[in-house]
Structure 1
Amino acid sequence: MKTLTITPNNRLQKARTEFLVRQEMSANQKVVADAPNVMSLSTFIKWAWEQAQIFGYPAALNNVLITQEQTFLSWVDIIKNDKSLITIMPPTELANGAVRAYKHLKLWKLSETDFIPDSDESIRFQQWATQFTSNMKGKVTEEEAIGIIIDAISDKVIPMPEHISLWAFDEVPPLFQALFEAISQCTTLQYCSEERPPATCYQTASFDNDTQLKNMAAWAYNTYEMEPSSTIAIVVPDLVAKRQLLINALDEAFEPQVILPNTPDYVQPYNVSAGTPMSSQPIIMLAKKILTVGAASTDVATLRSIVMSPFIGNSESESGKRALFDLTLQEVPTELSLSQMVSLERCPPKLMASVKQFLKIMNDAPERDTVGNWLKRFESALFAIGWPGERLPNSKEYQALKQHNELLHRLCSHYNTDTVTRDTAIYYYHLALSNTLYAAESKDCPIQVLGVLEAAGLTFDYIYILDMNDTVWPAKATPTPFLPELLQIEHGMPHSDASRELEFAKVLDNRFKRSCNSLIYSYCNTEKERKLTPSIFAVGEHLSGNVFKVNELNHIDLLYKQIPVKVLQDDMVPLETEVATGGVSLLEDEARCPFSAFVKHRLKVAEMPVVRMGFSPQQRGIILHEVLEYFWEDMKTHEALVQLTQEERAQKVLQSIERAFSAFTTKEDISSTLIEMEVQLLSKVIDKWLDIEVQRPAFIVEELEQKKLVTIGPLTIRIRIDRKDRLIDNDRVVFIDYKSGSAIANKLDHAAGLTDVQLPISALTAENVDTVAYASLKTGEELYSGLADPTSSNVSRDKHTLIKAASGSMSEQIEQWKVRLETLAEQYAEGVVTLTPSVASCQFCPVKLTCRINPN
């Protein structure tokens, strides 16, 4: 090959290849183009190693280049077998840190003998590294292979292309520098990167992390909708930790239907680069679970999950029998083995046969065998039980199976000599699954979610960087404990100190500015009530006028866009009977919102009852009505009230209160102290109300808490009239409605806006109505308010009385109410379900979850 481009990683290699292909097709006006020679650095090292072997270079022929996975497993073995190690940390976590430390040593052209340990961790690492070097006879890691490749290039063994370009290398450690220097002695070598005008930078602040993620998803959605051909990068400093939160936020914006049951797999318009452990994939998780159970006893819940899994044989053809068998398993002891399980009655025959075949393969194994042979036996046993199931796997499951098979092949080649027990083989199997990232292959997506290192060097139209707070970016110095800290600082190793992290952050920030047209810095103002400060990169004069705002999304609209909705015109649902339940509240709900009335009274949807300590507002209202009923049964007239002394009146009020409270004295959840407090409070309220009653024109109480059937249009409803008085001076009727809270009489004279219908309906039941009024008995706000005939002596206005004169006669006002009430009754009877609520109606509506008018 004449030319070669080398990139730092595979993602940049793919992006650069696609760019060069598009460029050639555009220049030559063709729909096809020759694939350019673009390799990632890791691929180049493997290619160079193969070339050295092909041309017979002794050092390459005498050694085997091992993979990163094999390197990791070797470190795990060393740490696991260190008998002197006392720690609660798992060997895998220690191995990850040790691998990174060893890699840093090699990249900076050092060895385990080139430093003096300064801590227990570095002492331990030096011992492990010595053991690793000893175990590696005839094997080399990728970093160690570079040294041999450098020698082979210098000896003119490996033929180099005529020209090599190094694309987007921001950090070049000494080992890579030596490699590139050796290459430059044999061919033309050039450092290259994207050269474009600096991006326009913006800043956007969010209250907290949840708001930040919602804003990010809303911005990405809006941008994608307006510019479908644009490319977008969402860059996250700590992508692994925030992966699921990011997916949730993006799903909520782009794929809101994912929350619905039985939602099929869909193609997301975004791709998240950080993978998840292979063991987290459901199809792999089941294989791991079955092999772990083996012949041992386990909890019934695990066995039930195996029985009902779609990933074992005949799960569909025996689905009914297995569902019944699952019910049987719920009644057995807490633990069972697989063999005990299949001996139970009602065990489906095909399940029984496959489990027995699985157990036979597992039980026929020798006590010890090589890991490779164990893994082959595991494959055979899983096949016997019917894994991965009878249905065709979807795309994600297929890729998981493919990567699983490749992993088994690599494990067999690594552990091919020593013999181990079955439990040890399963340990290695679990270890590999947990430490191998699964990332489903996806088509090119317009939105890429990347870590900062993955995004560096890639080009986009927009780059949106999250978490640009000074606690996150630049990253904190986190030197590895396995190497002396001064050694790391001296050589400028990654994460060694704050100044090194700041310089590296500046390099990446400059790279981002040259990689897009618009760059958005996003940061949070608070975190768990702690105030946060933006990063130095997210503030400054160049950003002072570029405050970035995000429009919120309407998720109801999003659902309608993503889910096919068939609209049926079904407005009217006629009433089956003329007798309506619900009383006065039925027409009040119809006045406020027909949909709410339909849901509450026709569909019988109700709020969950609220459990309260003490008296509920409803109980207080009932007690208030009963107290006044008992009091006026005794008094009967205004004259009798006026003639009482203050002490006599207080005594009669107390007697009525005690009678009303008698039903509550036996309740265990209401203490006598609480009842006493309620009695004292109610005594004061009623005493102040009776002061108002004394000032009224003389009257006789005719009816108290009277139940009646009232016909309004096509409906007959049951009502309870709190009180009906007759005035002495004109022999006309007064209706009073008791209210334990504040009451508003303002809308009584506006029939079109009528929502409180108790008094208007009461007025329909009598002739010669003079006044309709509310008796508001709220502590400190006692008020007698209502509407009266213009000629009535009741018309009055003072501190505790507000009786307005009707605009016409009371007969005319009642006729207007009747028209309005009949309209409401006809609407309800016909089943009108229009959504026409007031703001207040929506705010306190008990059936909000059934309503589609408010997306929030």
Structure 2
Amino acid sequence: MEDLDTIELDALARWPAHQTLILTVNNRHARRVLAELTSTLTEGRRVMAAPEVVPLSGWVNRLAEQLAFDPNASQPLHTVDAFGAHWLWQRVIGDIESEAGHGLLDVSQAAKFAAEADRLMDDWRIKVPAGQETAEYLHFLTWRNAYRNSLAELDAEDGNMLWERVCGALEDERLDVPIGALVLAGFNELAPRLRAMIAALQRRGIQVVALRNSAIPAGACRWLQVPEPDAEWRLAAAWAARQLSAHPQGRYAIIAARLEEDSALAHRCLREHLAPQTPYNIAVARPLSEWPLARAALAWLRVLARFDRDGVCPVAELGQALLAGGCVASRAERAGRARLDALWRRRGTVSISVQAFGEQLMRHAPQLAAAWQQCWLDLAATPCDGTAHGWRQQFRTCLITLGFPGSGMLDSHAFQSVEAFERLLERMAHLSPVVGVLSRYAASVLLRRLADETPFQPQRDPAARLDVLGFLESEGGRWDGVWVLGLTDEVLPAPARPNPFIPLQALRDAEAPRATPERELHWAHTLYAALLKCAPEVWLSHAQYEGERLLRPSPFVAQAAKCESEPWMDAVLARAQASFENVPMERILDERGPALVRGARTRGGIGVIDTQARNPLWAFAKYRLGASALPAYADIFDQNARGLLLHKAAELLWRMLRDQAELWAAHETGRLVALLEEVVAQAAKEHLPEYGPRLKELEMHRARSVLMAWVMHELARTPFRVLEVEKNCEWNHGALSLSLRVDRIDALLDDRLVVIDYKSGGGNVEPRADWMRERPVGLQLPFYASVLAGNSDAVAAMALVKLHARGIEARGLQDGDCGMEGMATLDDWPAFAGRSWRDVMLLWRTTINDLAEEYVSGVAINTYLRAEDMRYCDVLPFLRLNEEYPDDTQAAQ
């Protein structure tokens, strides 16, 4: 840029507008230059024409369109965008490496670096002399040749080839450029290809100049060192609030080195320090797929494609669509959609057919159900395969039928995101030459990937007086005050990141960007000088520590005057520190809720008593307030399905075989194997409907093996008969009514009972630690034995039986010998040694009644005995166990 003449904005205003073109580095800078130029032109005047201001990429595209009318230009039929080029690079690289028998861990990353290398080679006119070629470079040349051949077969070009063609046309004077002057704004350096284009314009007599920033070096530039990044952002936000309060018409900026990573922290600090309703702009774009309405549209299209391809759809994907909304009656029926999603989670539904979905939707969201039915009928009448161009219109029609973008008025950001999604559909249509014919499902995946890689940011609020930007976005900006934070030696200068596919010496010779430390140092000098000229007051800051890691300041800030902390800064940091310390507050110890009203229904069965023993507040929140986390979506490989299969098969087996004698008869006659096959097959129909044939057979084989091992243990027991399987019991205590289901109850020869509970997990089933506690947990068997069995001597044993492929175990307590290996007696457990069976049953009965009484009376103390008790707590945020109070007697976690 040093060899170009420069001009200030005031002087540019006197040039003839129709003969002047201003080129900027990007759209943001174009809007900034136009606003400043318009302000300059209208000062003291009425109306005047302004020169055209366009970003460089837009001007090159315009020249390419003009070149299309040249019959000798050999214009390709298609131009693919960056996403299409990356898609084609991936395909080419994947095909070449597969044919060569080489496997790449990340083809997408290789495609990214290859596309970057392709552009660098042309932009910076990089030549690799003989002898400097590396294996990676030669590999890249193979990919590049195949990539360009693929483009030629498609009669297409990418953005890099388009630039090269325009540059050649300018040099050959095949393009008419009807301007007298070209002004470059915001360019810190010019790549050789751009210099060649400028030289071609200069040879035609077009004057080319650079727009000089009229700003003078900062009158006050101060450097501040703060303890950590949070404090740095708080100080910057507080500074901005002070400036806006003192100068409401001023324009200020916070420039951050790592804005994208710190955007959430930035929002939090700005909202904390700025006055309510004070607008500000943060220049951080998120993928379009993360914006609510775009996410909703993508979810519905994926659901339709899933049903079309598989006939069923996982409820996890359906749930995303239902909860995202963006459809007919999006507000009126949102509660119904949420209820349907919760129903699937609680039932453990894995997937659902389109017919069943329509029926369930009709019960919970009838307006959406009608729209869905019409959409599905329309979709069924269309072909299953097509081009991206055809899918664009089909997707748009489906979304309109479903009522996208939903009911109600859209705010500015939502409206802009809908417009961006419409442009996304157009981009997908333009990919038709690259991606070819696609199925509906493949088209929905393509659209999702495109949305994931398309950044979107709503337009800048023109009323905002505060901008929060990154280094690159700040180029060419002009404000009344600027705070630059994050200036460590890891950021300025940044470490070199040379492209791995171009030899380093070639990059060094071409002085390509990001290639060498010297190149990064030069860029850092340029950037730092620009930062100091963007405002009359500039604050520079960096954090001393990030966690436990020591940070060093950038060497550039040493040029600024180091500033000691000012009173207002100390106050900001003190307030921040006080928020983490104990402050005087009124505390109310609320450990009891209202008593349970008779007739009130309590769901949860014996789990109510078990949870009350673990943490009373957990029980109150879950069963009295109904505050529990939604279960995760069921998975086809969920361990619970395996447990249900074993439980059901065992139930069916003991409904057919009523005692040990019948089991012996089946074993001796050879019927046992067939019997196990029958019960497992019947259980699999009920509990493995989503499994494929091979996977289902594997699970059934495992279940048969586990059950066979268990019945071999049963044969070794003392004689028994099976009284009950899956027995339901009811129990009332005052206003509390609970239900209990027992897996199995056996009777011994003396008519005493053995209560059995199956456990299908691979963990420990030893109940000793749980049952000996002052507030026992895992109470299902003790509850039946001590409360429901009728008298203290009715039950002779309580057994937890682990049914697992690694081995069969039985653990529990017995009074005498029930014939099960692994069972303990009272004397084996220290807390019960020397006590009678009747005393232990009475102790449990008293404890269970006390726990029930606690629940009925509303006791809700937030305490627990062991951290293990809270492992599966589904209301942890409600309990706030991570908070500590001065008078706590035990740690919360």
Specify whether residues 44 and 276 from structure 1 end up closer, same or farther in structure 2 by C-alpha distance, changes over 3 A only: same
Residue of 456, 465, 486 corresponding to 1:446: 465
- Tell me the distance in 1 between the aligned counterparts of 2:562 and 2:199: 44
- For the aligned residues, what is the CA RMSD? 3.7
User: 1:286-336, CA deviations, whole angstroms, 9 ceiling, x for partnerless residues?
Assistant: 222222233154554543443344312123344565455455444433312
Residue of 61, 64, 75 corresponding to 1:49: 64
Task: Compare 408-417 and 100-109 and name the one that shifted more.
Answer: 408-417
Where 2:348 maps in the other structure, the secondary structure is: coil
Where 2:421 maps in the other structure, the secondary structure is: helix
Q: Does 1:126 align with 2:141?
A: yes
Letter of the 1:336 partner, please give it.
S
Check the 8 A contact 1:283/1:388 in 2, yes or no: yes
Residue of 96, 99, 120 corresponding to 2:115: 99
Q: CA deviation at 1:134?
A: 1.4
- Tell me the distance in 2 between the aligned counterparts of 1:422 and 1:175: 42
Letter of the 1:311 partner, please give it.
G
User: 1:596-630, CA deviations, whole angstroms, 9 ceiling, x for partnerless residues?
Assistant: 48x6699999xxx9x99xxxxxxxxxxxxxxxxxx
- Tell me the distance in 2 between the aligned counterparts of 1:468 and 1:357: 58
Check the 8 A contact 1:57/1:152 in 2, yes or no: no
Specify whether residues 245 and 75 from structure 1 end up closer, same or farther in structure 2 by C-alpha distance, changes over 3 A only: farther
Specify whether residues 53 and 26 from structure 1 end up closer, same or farther in structure 2 by C-alpha distance, changes over 3 A only: same
Which residue of 2 is the match for residue 636 of structure 1? none
Check the 8 A contact 1:236/1:465 in 2, yes or no: yes
- Tell me the distance in 2 between the aligned counterparts of 1:63 and 1:324: 51
Check the 8 A contact 1:115/1:484 in 2, yes or no: no
User: 1:244-264, CA deviations, whole angstroms, 9 ceiling, x for partnerless residues?
Assistant: 3323332333377xxxxxxxx
Check the 8 A contact 2:293/2:405 in 1, yes or no: yes
Q: Does 1:40 align with 2:55?
A: yes
Q: Does 1:159 align with 2:171?
A: no
Q: Does 1:516 align with 2:516?
A: no
Matches within 5 A, 1:424-443: 424-443=442-461
Where 1:78 maps in the other structure, the secondary structure is: helix
Letter of the 1:40 partner, please give it.
P
Check the 8 A contact 1:308/1:322 in 2, yes or no: yes
Letter of the 1:185 partner, please give it.
R
Residue of 465, 472, 478 corresponding to 2:497: 478
Which residue of 1 is the match for residue 299 of structure 2? 289
Task: Compare 514-523 and 361-370 and name the one that shifted more.
Answer: 361-370
Q: CA deviation at 1:360?
A: 3.4
Where 1:58 maps in the other structure, the secondary structure is: coil
User: 1:147-186, CA deviations, whole angstroms, 9 ceiling, x for partnerless residues?
Assistant: 4334433444413411222223211111111111111112
Letter of the 2:475 partner, please give it.
A
Residue of 343, 351, 359 corresponding to 2:359: 343
Where 1:459 maps in the other structure, the secondary structure is: coil
Residue of 233, 238, 251 corresponding to 1:231: 251
Normalised to the residue count of structure 1, the TM-score between the two structures is 0.60
Normalised to the residue count of structure 2, the TM-score between the two structures is 0.58
Q: Does 1:19 align with 2:36?
A: yes
Check the 8 A contact 1:196/1:514 in 2, yes or no: yes
User: 1:222-248, CA deviations, whole angstroms, 9 ceiling, x for partnerless residues?
Assistant: 222222222222222233333333233
Matches within 5 A, 1:725-744: none
Letter of the 1:381 partner, please give it.
C
User: 1:460-487, CA deviations, whole angstroms, 9 ceiling, x for partnerless residues?
Assistant: 1222222111122110111122222222
Which residue of 2 is the match for residue 210 of structure 1? 230
Where 2:43 maps in the other structure, the secondary structure is: helix
Matches within 5 A, 1:314-463: 314-319=329-334, 321-322=336-337, 325-326=340-341, 328-337=343-352, 338-344=354-360, 346-416=363-433, 418-444=436-462, 445-463=464-482
Where 1:392 maps in the other structure, the secondary structure is: coil
- Tell me the distance in 2 between the aligned counterparts of 1:248 and 1:319: 29
Letter of the 1:536 partner, please give it.
P
User: 1:488-533, CA deviations, whole angstroms, 9 ceiling, x for partnerless residues?
Assistant: 2221111111111011100111112222111211101012212221
Check the 8 A contact 1:165/1:192 in 2, yes or no: yes
Specify whether residues 202 and 351 from structure 1 end up closer, same or farther in structure 2 by C-alpha distance, changes over 3 A only: same
Specify whether residues 426 and 404 from structure 1 end up closer, same or farther in structure 2 by C-alpha distance, changes over 3 A only: same
- Tell me the distance in 2 between the aligned counterparts of 1:145 and 1:284: 31
Q: CA deviation at 1:381?
A: 2.4
- Tell me the distance in 1 between the aligned counterparts of 2:292 and 2:129: 45
Q: CA deviation at 1:546?
A: 7.1
Which residue of 2 is the match for residue 792 of structure 1? none
Residue of 83, 86, 89 corresponding to 1:75: 89
User: 1:563-610, CA deviations, whole angstroms, 9 ceiling, x for partnerless residues?
Assistant: xxxxxxxxxxxxxxxxxxxxxxxxxxxxx99x948x6699999xxx9x
Which residue of 1 is the match for residue 721 of structure 2? none
Residue of 237, 254, 265 corresponding to 2:274: 254
Which residue of 2 is the match for residue 574 of structure 1? none
- Tell me the distance in 2 between the aligned counterparts of 1:83 and 1:355: 44
Where 1:109 maps in the other structure, the secondary structure is: coil
Q: CA deviation at 1:280?
A: 0.5
How many residues in Structure 1 have an aligned counterpart in Structure 2?
568
Check the 8 A contact 2:93/2:107 in 1, yes or no: no
- Tell me the distance in 1 between the aligned counterparts of 2:133 and 2:165: 28
User: 1:702-751, CA deviations, whole angstroms, 9 ceiling, x for partnerless residues?
Assistant: xxxxxxxxxxxxxxxxxxxxxxxxxxxxxxxxxxxxxxxxxxxxxxxxxx
- Structure 2: unaligned runs, 5 residues or longer: 1-17, 577-582, 595-611, 616-771, 777-884, 889-893
Where 2:363 maps in the other structure, the secondary structure is: coil
Letter of the 2:457 partner, please give it.
A
Specify whether residues 80 and 407 from structure 1 end up closer, same or farther in structure 2 by C-alpha distance, changes over 3 A only: farther
- Tell me the distance in 2 between the aligned counterparts of 1:363 and 1:38: 49
Specify whether residues 386 and 111 from structure 1 end up closer, same or farther in structure 2 by C-alpha distance, changes over 3 A only: farther
Specify whether residues 602 and 209 from structure 1 end up closer, same or farther in structure 2 by C-alpha distance, changes over 3 A only: closer
- Tell me the distance in 2 between the aligned counterparts of 1:548 and 1:148: 58
- Tell me the distance in 1 between the aligned counterparts of 2:97 and 2:233: 46
Matches within 5 A, 1:167-246: 167-186=185-204, 187-199=206-218, 200-246=220-266
Matches within 5 A, 1:536-555: 536-540=555-559, 542-544=560-562, 551=569
- Tell me the distance in 2 between the aligned counterparts of 1:11 and 1:3: 20
Where 2:265 maps in the other structure, the secondary structure is: helix
Q: CA deviation at 1:68?
A: 3.5
Check the 8 A contact 1:467/1:523 in 2, yes or no: yes
- Tell me the distance in 2 between the aligned counterparts of 1:530 and 1:602: 43
Residue of 140, 151, 171 corresponding to 1:136: 151
Percent identity of paired positions between Structure 1 and Structure 2: 21
Task: Compare 231-240 and 62-71 and name the one that shifted more.
Answer: 62-71
Letter of the 2:184 partner, please give it.
L
Check the 8 A contact 1:463/1:518 in 2, yes or no: yes
Which residue of 2 is the match for residue 820 of structure 1? none
Specify whether residues 111 and 370 from structure 1 end up closer, same or farther in structure 2 by C-alpha distance, changes over 3 A only: farther
Matches within 5 A, 1:834-853: none
- Tell me the distance in 2 between the aligned counterparts of 1:549 and 1:88: 55
Specify whether residues 501 and 301 from structure 1 end up closer, same or farther in structure 2 by C-alpha distance, changes over 3 A only: same
Q: CA deviation at 1:210?
A: 1.7
Specify whether residues 237 and 106 from structure 1 end up closer, same or farther in structure 2 by C-alpha distance, changes over 3 A only: farther
Check the 8 A contact 2:24/2:185 in 1, yes or no: yes
User: 1:207-232, CA deviations, whole angstroms, 9 ceiling, x for partnerless residues?
Assistant: 11122122222222222222222222
Check the 8 A contact 2:118/2:144 in 1, yes or no: yes
- Tell me the distance in 1 between the aligned counterparts of 2:548 and 2:431: 51
- Tell me the distance in 2 between the aligned counterparts of 1:549 and 1:478: 42
Letter of the 1:471 partner, please give it.
E
